[in-house]
A and B are shown apart, each in its own frame.
Chain A
Amino acid sequence: RKEVEQDPGPFNVPEGATVAFNCTYSNSASQSFFWYRQDCRKEPKLLMSVYSSGNEDGRFTAQLNRASQYISLLIRDSKLSDSATYLCVVDAYSGAGSYQLTFGKGTKLSVIP
Chain B
Amino acid sequence: EPEVTQTPSHQVTQMGQEVILRCVPISNHLYFYWYRQILGQKVEFLVSFYNNEISEKSEIFDDQFSVERPDGSNFTLKIRSTKLEDSAMYFCASSETGSDTEAFFGQGTRLTVV
Contacts and interface: CB of A to CB of B under 8 A. Distances in A.
B32 to A, nearest CB: 10
Interface stretch (B13-21, B65-73, B75-83, B96-104): B96-104
A31 B42 contact: no
A49 B100 CA distance: 9
Interface residues of B, number: 26
Interface in B14-48: 31, 33, 35, 41-45, 48
A32 B99 contact: yes
B99 A44 contact: no
A42 B56 CA distance: 25
Contacts of B43: 38, 44, 87, 103
A53 B95 CA distance: 24
B92 to A, nearest CB: 9
Interface residues of A, number: 25
B100 A31 contact: yes
Contacts of A45: 105
Contacts of A32: 99-100
B58 interface: yes
Interface of A: 31-32, 34, 38, 41-46, 49, 87, 91-93, 97-106
